[in-house]
Structure 1
């Protein structure tokens, strides 16, 4: 846990009852005696990216808690320490998990609700917010996946890479696609991908999801990229359509698939600066 001037911040691990079993959660709380300014629900990325990024998400959650927010990290169905196998996971179940997490936190915390997602978790947050089952004040997107089909294609390439390393007969992503189209699950890096999940993610595109709340978007920019990265086409589209979009970059590295654990101080600092309008300490007007 994070150490502050008043000591470690409260951290509560628990299992949230849900359809098909339980969901493992971590609740990061503000310093003792301080009321929460709002709630934040974190949505993790796909498959092994969850494990590789968990430490960075936890560091950011502690920073949010130190700023006065209650932060709920939830392992979605079939992921992490929650009930179910990954092969049983479905996009609509993850939507239901997110609704459950938001409702649980909203019942216990006054103030605005923020959805914070990494990679596919960011695309899930966008998709969820577009359906507006619960009031959401803002979205924080860390290196968001913008197109579900491309996300699945990249995931399937992991199987090709593993077969090449094992000197086995290589299989192109298109072959895995054929298996999925025929209704057969595909094993990728130890994860069994169900056709129903792949097809549902394929159908989600951020280009079709105009945010109705402010969006804070953090994008990775390689350290050797000296000039500022051009504004993504989707960002220009959203701005032209009137979205309230705030963007920044970070250069720590793609920690979500790195072979080593990266601390990512640039990302944490960039998040603090980008979200300054709602993270800055509240002024005492009394």
Structure 2
């Protein structure tokens, strides 16, 4: 008989600027403990759209013997502060507190798992700590390109019209973002963040269709990384990084109109978890 999954433990983590809301998924009882994972959230509304997928993956990790900590960063979700007051260095400090909380549990190796812009934040934070590995879901490659894309998708292309010199906050999709945060993000480039630990890189590629909307590729057929991703992965490898990269079919659940789930990504992430321990 299957044992019901343990409910995630909600709590608030004390910080200099109020508190941070957290969810902790305990490793499944009776399963060998394999370590802990700190999840790093995506940007703005992508956080809300991706919660379902992240919850499913966190539970899957727990069933494999990992403890998983989700934290709402300053100004996000149920944590203290307003998004307009958020700064990159505050988010890094939030991750440092969460990382320390996980290390104190002494459950073995510590990993980072980031989604979209959260992948860039995780890579930046990895330079401060020594994660055993990094898991990247659809990582943003360039902060500037990401914000430009986000602005276009949200009909807010005015974001960069003097954004870095303006004194007032910028509004994007109903979120006020400080010029300081926009400037910091726009300077980020994953090319300079090659981790010194094993990396799992997983991204989605939409299933191609013809003009009539009929699938033009058989289900289960192999898919390739986006060209820009493939180039960056190769550059990282040349720089000495150990990268396991895989693309799977799926729609972008972080920006879909409805809350979406991508079973192929969950399956690929579970398969990649087997060799996660440092070799």
Equivalent residues of 1:180, 1:194 under 8 A apart? no
Equivalent residues of 1:36, 1:110 under 8 A apart? yes
Secondary structure (helix, strand or coil) at the match of 1:59 reads helix
TM-score after normalising by structure 2: 0.89
1:76 lines up with 2:60 in the alignment: no
1:233 lines up with 2:231 in the alignment: yes
Residue from 50, 53, 75 that aligns with 1:53: 50
Partner of 2:132: 137
Unmatched runs of 5 consecutive residues or more in structure 1: 162-171, 280-286
Partner of 1:39: 36
Residue 234 to residue 156, structure 1, CA distance change in 2 (3 Å):
same
Equivalent residues of 2:163, 2:182 under 8 A apart? no
Equivalent residues of 1:180, 1:186 under 8 A apart? no
Question: How far apart in 2 are the matches of 1:214 and 1:16?
Answer: 29
Partner of 2:2: 5
Q: CA RMSD in A?
A: 1.8
Segments of 4+ in structure 1 off by > 3 A?
32-36, 225-228
Partner of 1:210: 194
TM-score after normalising by structure 1: 0.87
Partner of 2:263: 265
Question: How far apart in 1 are the matches of 2:155 and 2:4?
Answer: 48
Unmatched runs of 5 consecutive residues or more in structure 2: 209-215
Partner of 2:213: none
Residue 263 to residue 158, structure 1, CA distance change in 2 (3 Å):
closer
More helix by share: 1
1:148 lines up with 2:140 in the alignment: no
CA distances 1:7-65 after superposition (whole Å, capped 9, x unpaired)? 23242001111111000000001223556321100011000000000010000000000
Paired residue total: 263
Question: How far apart in 2 are the matches of 1:23 and 1:100?
Answer: 10
Secondary structure (helix, strand or coil) at the match of 1:41 reads strand
Residue from 94, 99, 122 that aligns with 1:97: 94
> What is the 5 A alignment of 1:133-282?
134-160=129-155, 172-173=157-158, 176-224=160-208, 226=217, 228-229=223-224, 232-278=230-276
